Amino acid sequence: MTTKLGRLAKATSVDDVLTNVAQIIDWASKEGSPIGYFAVVYQRVTLAVQKAIKTPKKFEDPALVAKLDVGFAQRYFSALNGFFYPNAVGGLTLPWEVAFVGALDKQAIILQHLLIAFNAHISFDLGMACCTVAPTPAALNALKGDFDRVNEILAAQIPGIVDVLQKLSPELVWTRRLIPDELRVFNGMLENMRRGAWLFAVYMVMHRDDADQKRVRQEAEAAVLNTWYLQAPERCSPLPALIRGIAEHESHDVAENMKALQK
C-alpha cells in the first residue's frame, strides 16, 4: 500500500453513502487493494436499496429505511477511517480490524474477502445500527417488515455476484460438487447473518442492563469467525486446501476483478 485511503466524510444521506463508496472503490482500484471487493458489492446493494426507497409502496417507512442505510454504512466508513487514521479517529471495531489486516497481506481469495467484510458489517454493525434508529421495542417491531424487505433486495444481488465470482475464480466450480446448490448456501449464510443481527438488536433493546456485555460478546464472536474464515485450521476443515486450489487459478488483477463485480 503506497497511498492510504483519504478520510471519508460523515454520510447524512444515501447519496453521501454512494459518494463515499465511490471514493473507496477509486482508491482500491489504484492501489490494487482487496478492500475494494466489498466496496463494489456494497455499491451494488446500496443502489438497489436506493431504487427501492424511491419506489412507492416498496417500504412501509422509506425514510426510516434510508436512515438505517446511512447509519449502517457510517459504521463501515468509521471503521475504515479508524483503521487508516488510528491516532485521530475512533470507530474501528475488532471484526473490521481482522478484515482489514487480512486484506493487507493479499493472501486470501476474493470469496474470503467478501465473507469477512459481510460478517463484520452484518453480524456486528447491522444490529448496532438497528438499535440506533429503533431504540425501543415498539420502534424495532415497526422496523421488522422493512428489514426483511432489505433482506430480499440483498438476496436478489447474490446470483449475479456468484456468476462473476465463478468467472474470476474458475476453481469455484468444484464447490458445485461439494455444494450442489451453492446459491442457496450463500443466501442462507447471509440470511443467517442478518437473522443473527436482528436477534442481537432485539436483545440490546430488550436488555438494556446487559447491553454492554452483549455488545462485547457479539463483537468478539464476529472477530473470531473472521479469523476462522481467513485461517481455518487444516486439521479441522477442508477449507484451507480448497482455498489453495481456488487461489492458484484465480484472477489476481484486483482492479479488473472489481470492475467485473460492479457490472
Asked whether the predicted pLDDT for residue 105 surpasses 80, the reply is no
Alpha carbon distance 162, 188 (integer Å)? 14
Query: Average per-residue pLDDT in the chain?
Result: 91
**What φ, ψ does residue 220 adopt, rounded to 5°?**
-65, -40
pLDDT tier at 90, thresholds 50, 70, 90:
confident
Q: 157-213, pLDDT tens digit by residue?
A: 988 998 898 889 887 766 655 555 656 677 788 889 999 999 999 999 999 999 999
Ramachandran area for residue 114 (φ above 0: left; ψ -120 to 50: alpha; else beta): alpha
Q: Which of 10-24, 36-50, 161-175 has the lowest mean pLDDT?
A: 161-175
Share of the chain above pLDDT 70, in %: 91
Alpha carbon distance 233, 218 (integer Å)? 22
Residue 162's pLDDT is: 86
Q: 116-145, pLDDT tens digit by residue?
A: 999 999 999 999 999 999 999 999 999 999
pLDDT, mean of residues 53-81: 97
Alpha carbon distance 50, 235 (integer Å)? 44
Asked whether the predicted pLDDT for residue 58 surpasses 60, the reply is yes
Q: 225-242, pLDDT tens digit by residue?
A: 999 988 877 666 666 667
Q: 243-254, pLDDT tens digit by residue?
A: 777 778 889 999
Q: DSSP string covering 182-250, please?
A: HHHHHHHHHHHHHHHHHHHHHHHHH-GGGHHHHHHHHHHHHHHHHHHHHS--TTT-SHHHHHHHHHHHS
pLDDT, mean of residues 221-227: 96
pLDDT, mean of residues 56-70: 97
Asked whether the predicted pLDDT for residue 64 surpasses 80, the reply is yes
- Residues comprising the chain, all counted: 263
Residue 235's pLDDT is: 65
Q: Which of 7-16, 32-41, 177-186, 236-245 has the lowest mean pLDDT?
A: 177-186
